[in-house]
Structure 1
Amino acid sequence: MLNSNYTNGTSYQFHDKCCCDDKILNIVGVYPESKIEKVLQCPCPEDKNKWTEFFVSETVDIPSQKPNIEDIVEVHSCVDIISQRVIKTPLVNGYNSCNGYYIPGETIPNGECTNLTGKKLIIEGLLRQKIIYTAALGEQSVHSADFNIPFSVFIIIEKNTPLYQQFKITAYIEDIYACVLSERSVFKNTTIFIKASKIC
């Protein structure tokens, strides 16, 4: 089993099952739902909304020196956070409503109920993965291929956050889907949840 380093030296080892072409595929690295719920119940009110969810969708090719794929046996995944920074972003201008009241721009949400504050936390990381598969050979030997996929996401933070502010970034893999597209390629989709907490 692969050790997944999510929070600077703490190892989590979890198994989950997912269905792929009517076969059970073993997935290593998915965080239990109950743990994510606990993270959302943060005792610090100013940190409760500092999270984002996104997915990394990819098609990866088996390296040329490896044999063709017959079937996927297991997928190991973990997230490494490699950088973070606070940036300034544009603000939405306010306007006067029809009854004469001024509506400040930071109180105007978009369709996802997100309000722009003029500050964002940019987070960059790597999705590290190992695909273990049986080869399309007579002896059906087991092989593996490693892939590192970069990503960049943001979390909207308070307007008074200084540019030097550091955060504890915790990443959780919610779900992994994988299937064989051809004898040399695999489709994968990984759903990731990221939580940020201010470091005092």
Structure 2
Amino acid sequence: MLNCDYTGSTIYRFYDKCCISSENINFIGEYPQNKIEKVLSCFNDTDKWTEFFLPEIVDIPIQKPNIEGVVEIQSCVEIISQRVIKTPTVSGYTNSNGVYIPGENIPNSECTNLTGKKLIIEGLLRQKIIYTALVENQALHSANFVVPFSTFIIIDKDTALSQKFKVMPYIEDIFACKLSERSVFKNTTIFIKASKIC
């Protein structure tokens, strides 16, 4: 085991191998891959999307017993706000051949062009971890966690600041493993589709 200074003056004893092959965790809240593919095939010209992952380490509350093993993780995403904002754009540059390249033709490594407008989306990842307690009778216990997040989607430059979107979140994947008797590492991959509301 490794000694790690985790947060402040709290010290946990973390395992040097967190992913135990014998753990069989049930994940509830993941959207099936074939349904995500259906969401992607039902796009309009005005629909936009993003995906991101939310890594976290959650600690079991002090009044709960230690973890022997994680049994199940239940997760859902709640969108709490959205707003359109103005952002900077790339003005352009002259390449080595003396040719001017306008800003709207300069993508980043993900082939995304800045338009001057972004949809900011804020939400909550609500989750429950169900685990067997590290006690003689191995009773089931649970702990609830809420993790806030913020992300953005680049949208069309002519989008009004008052424009509202139908924002649909989907959980693509959940990974989790016990780090110690008091903490669990989780990583949730989230896909968000935003459709203009006329």
* TM-score band w.r.t. shorter chain: 0.7 to 0.9
Deviation, structure 1 residue 57: 0.4
CA gap 1:43/1:185 in 2 versus in 1, 3 angstroms: closer
How many angstroms does 1:41 deviate by?
1.4
1:67 to 65, 68, 93: 65
How large is the Cα RMSD of the aligned pairs? 1.5
- Per the normalisation by structure 2, the TM-score is 0.87
Alignment of 1:11-26 (within 5 A): 21-26=21-26
Q: Hey, what does 2:35 align to over in structure 1? A: 35
Residue 180 of structure 1: aligned partner: 178
**Alignment partner of 1:157 out of 155, 158, 163:** 155
Contact persistence 1:126–1:149 (CA under 8 A): yes
The CA deviation at 1:42 is: 2.4
1:54 corresponding residue in structure 2: 52
1:21 and 1:82 map into 2 onto residues whose CA distance is 37
Please list the CA deviations of residues 20-73 of structure 1 after superposition, one character each: whole Å capped at 9, or x if unmatched.
Answer: 6332211000001111111111241232xx111111101110001101100011
Query: Which residue type is aligned with residue 157 of structure 2?
Result: K
Q: Give distance in 2, aligned partners of 1:75 and 1:146.
A: 10
Decide whether the 8 Å contact of 2:23 with 2:69 is kept in 1.
no
8 Å Cα contact 1:180-1:186 kept in structure 2 = yes
What is the deviation of 1:98? 5.6
Instruction: Give aligned-pair identity as a percent.
Output: 71
1:69–1:133 contact (8 Å) kept in structure 2: yes
Structure 1 residue matching 2:25: 3-state secondary structure? strand
Contact 1:91 1:118 in 2 (8 A): yes
> Contact 2:23–2:70 at 8 Å: present in 1 too?
no
Structure 2 distance, partners of 1:88, 1:43, is: 25
| Number of aligned residue pairs | 180
Matched-pair contact (CA < 8 Å) for 2:78–2:125: yes
Letter in 2 for 1:163: L
TM-score by length of 1: 0.86
Residues 100-137 of structure 1: CA deviation (Å, up to 9, x unaligned): 65422112101110100000000000000000000000
- Which digits, 9 at most, give the CA deviation of each residue in 1:83-109, with x for residues without a partner? 000000001012345666542211210
What are structure 1's unaligned runs of at least 5 residues?
Answer: 1-18
